[in-house]
Amino acid sequence: MKDLQLKIQIKECQMNELSEDEQYLLQKAIESTNNSYAPYSHFCVGAALLLENDVVQLGCNQENAAFPATLCAERSAIFAAGAQYPNVPIKMLAIAARDTTGQLTEEPVSPCGTCRQVMIETETRYQCPIRILLYGRKYIYVIDGIQNLMPLSFTKF
């Protein structure tokens, strides 16, 4: 038996270290937290993605008393983009969240496993990595491709 080490790469930065496009997308994700419907968790998540055609698609979490019917912000944005622009890859995805007090989270919030799997499928579908921006008041994570969040992934291949 041998031990394997998996290496992932995540950059930690401040808003002013990002490009104008990255800052804009994060701002849209922050704004999208206000559209969240979270009467059960009171945890409001917003997502904004930038498509190859420069269209920005927003998403936010939508909760439901029948919990499996709940949809995360990331998936709502990805699925809406897929429905409206089925042949256009996603370049970048920004995610922000407000905690139960209504404040933006101090540290970045990471996508759930289901959202990660959808992101893997999306990257595989378009053969294009997605740049991921995770917002926190203290710092922002910049991740180049979902493989850096989920190094052992399940794909159709």
Catalytic residues: 74
The chain-wide mean pLDDT, for the chain, equals 95
Dihedrals phi, psi of 104, to nearest 5 degrees: -60, 140
Q: DSSP E strands: which ranges in the chain?
A: 11-13, 44-51, 56-60, 90-98, 131-134, 140-144
Identify the pLDDT of residue 78: 98
Residues 70, 37: Cα–Cα separation, whole Å:
10
Q: Give residue 13's identity as a one-letter amino acid code.
A: C
Beta bridge mates, 141: 12, 134
- Read off the pLDDT of residues 3-54 as tens digits, 9 standing for 90 and up: 988 889 999 999 999 999 999 999 999 999 999 999 999 999 999 999 999 9
Q: Give residue 67's identity as a one-letter amino acid code.
A: F
Q: Count CB-CB contacts under 10 A for residue 62.
A: 17
Angstrom CA distances, 94 to 9, 20, 26, stand at 17, 13, 5
- Read off the pLDDT of residues 133-147 as tens digits, 9 standing for 90 and up: 999 999 999 999 999
Pairing of β 140-144 and β 11-13: antiparallel
Question: What's the pTM?
Answer: 0.95
Identify the pLDDT of residue 157: 57
